[in-house]
Amino acid sequence: MSDVPAATRDADVDRPVIEVEGLTKIFGDKTVVDHFDMAVPKGAIYGFLGPNGSGKTTTIRMLCGLLTPDGGSGHCLGFDILRQSRQIKERVGYMTQRFSLYEDLSIRENLEFIGRMYRVDNLKERVDRALTGLGLADRSKQLAGELSGGWKQRLALAAAMLHDPDLLLLDEPTAGVDPKARRDFWDEIRHLSRAGVTVLVSTHYMDEAIQCDNIAYIAFGHKLIDAPAADIPGIVGLITWRVQGADLGALADELQGTPGIEQIARFGAALHISGVDHAALDAAVKPFQADKRRTWHRQEAGLEEVFIHLMAASQDNFAAPEAAPPEAA
């Protein structure tokens, strides 16, 4: 691995690890990412939340110098994302959505291959440490293709962290793994964050989003909001009435289209009725609250409700344009 200048590695700790303005990426005639701005502090777990095809992965790759933008500028780890992408790549660990290691090699062989590719020092020691740190030591001779989803995930994370990167890129990291494996994975991510590793996570799972310090909602190339996760419901201003009881399906049908109600969603045994005009929302549900078969509780909306609300107002940049209405004769 090439040496990174000491002045860059020891830059002011208050400077964002990533700071970009106006990032734009165009494929053909479609603008996939449209003038994206962001600043990411050191050690943060930063979530990119959005539907499939919304530009999350493309944005993350540009932020980290892995993909050249068509417009905009910025720095990552002290390097220019346009002119110094090689230096950035050497300091980034990237865990792709699909398992991308060699299935006909063992766990140890895969890590040794990655280590040689990054030209890491003390390769055997580093591989041993990675195996032990992620609980892979007892399986080190097992072929990667024989591993379950959760163990493949651990191996992929070990490979991404083998060269001690300052920035970790996770693209849909827990797709297809069981809840315990997902929980174990996030315990390790929080440990890395406390050690100063900055983590960018692309996801559309709410239980992953709530693990993040900050969340950027991205829809069809546009950043809709970017804030600490705990602050987002208050910023959007969405309020929810949570209803439990009898005939919730019939209630949803009756409330549909009522002024003041912007969305109705089923959450398990409860119905969530939400809107941003609090007075109008209260007036809309008031006539139904007299029904003693149901209980009503007013609460701030959660991240999933906010996500649905933001997506509903977004336009797919790959959707075919609506045909113009015919001219009057």
What is the tens place of the pLDDT at every residue in 285-314? 999 999 999 999 999 888 888 888 887 766
> Could you say which of 208, 229, 250 is where a domain stops?
229
CA–CA distance, 287 with 44 (Å, rounded to integer): 46
Question: pLDDT tens-digit profile of 11-36?
Answer: 455 789 999 999 999 999 889 999 99
> Could you say which of 178, 200, 229 is where a domain stops?
229
Assess whether 78 and 217 both reside in one domain: yes
CATH number reported for the structural domain that contains residue 219 in this entry: 3.40.50.300
Residue where the block lists tokens 């995930």: 153
Q: Please compute the mean of the pLDDT values over residues 314-327 and round it to a whole number.
A: 50
Assess whether 286 and 171 both reside in one domain: no
CA–CA distance, 234 with 211 (Å, rounded to integer): 18
> Could you say which of 229, 262, 291 is where a domain stops?
229
Does residue 7 have a pLDDT over 50? no
Tell me how many domains the chain contains.
2
Assess whether 171 and 70 both reside in one domain: yes
What pLDDT, on a 0 to 100 scale, did the predictor assign at position 142? Answer: 95
What pLDDT, on a 0 to 100 scale, did the predictor assign at position 12? Answer: 52
In a domain, residue 292? The reply is yes
Q: Please compute the mean of the pLDDT values over residues 171-191 and round it to a whole number.
A: 81
Assess whether 91 and 132 both reside in one domain: yes
Which CA distances in Å does 247 have to 265, 271, 291, 295? 14, 10, 11, 12
What pLDDT, on a 0 to 100 scale, did the predictor assign at position 177? Answer: 72
Does residue 233 have a pLDDT over 50? yes
Contact 129, 205 (CB under 8 A): no
Rounded percentage of the chain residues whose pLDDT exceeds 90: 60
Q: pTM of the predicted model, to two decimals? A: 0.81
Assess whether 251 and 159 both reside in one domain: no
In a domain, residue 156? The reply is yes
pLDDT band of 6, cuts 50, 70, 90: very low
Assess whether 159 and 48 both reside in one domain: yes
CA–CA distance, 63 with 71 (Å, rounded to integer): 12
Assess whether 206 and 292 both reside in one domain: no
Assess whether 85 and 218 both reside in one domain: yes
What pLDDT, on a 0 to 100 scale, did the predictor assign at position 8? Answer: 45
Beta bridge partners of 202: 48, 171
In a domain, residue 329? The reply is no
Does residue 328 have a pLDDT over 70? no
In a domain, residue 43? The reply is yes
Question: pLDDT tens-digit profile of 129-171?
Answer: 999 988 899 999 999 999 988 889 889 999 999 999 999 999 8
What pLDDT, on a 0 to 100 scale, did the predictor assign at position 10? Answer: 46
In a domain, residue 323? The reply is no
In a domain, residue 92? The reply is yes
Across the chain, mean pLDDT equals 87
In a domain, residue 328? The reply is no
Structural domain harbouring 263: 239-300
Assess whether 266 and 134 both reside in one domain: no
Assess whether 210 and 272 both reside in one domain: no
- Which residues are CB-contacts of 301 (< 8 A; sequence separation ≥ 6)? 233, 236, 238, 239, 240, 272, 274, 309
Residue in 156, 145, 152, 159 with CA at minimum distance from that of residue 113? 159
What pLDDT, on a 0 to 100 scale, did the predictor assign at position 11? Answer: 46
Q: Which of 229-238, 249-258, 296-305 has the highest mean pLDDT?
A: 249-258
CA–CA distance, 314 with 279 (Å, rounded to integer): 25
In a domain, residue 311? The reply is no
Q: Which residue has the higher pLDDT, 87 or 14?
A: 87
CATH number reported for the structural domain that contains residue 286 in this entry: 3.30.70.250
pLDDT band of 281, cuts 50, 70, 90: very high
Assess whether 194 and 100 both reside in one domain: yes
Assess whether 169 and 283 both reside in one domain: no
Question: pLDDT tens-digit profile of 197-223?
Answer: 999 998 877 777 888 999 998 888 888
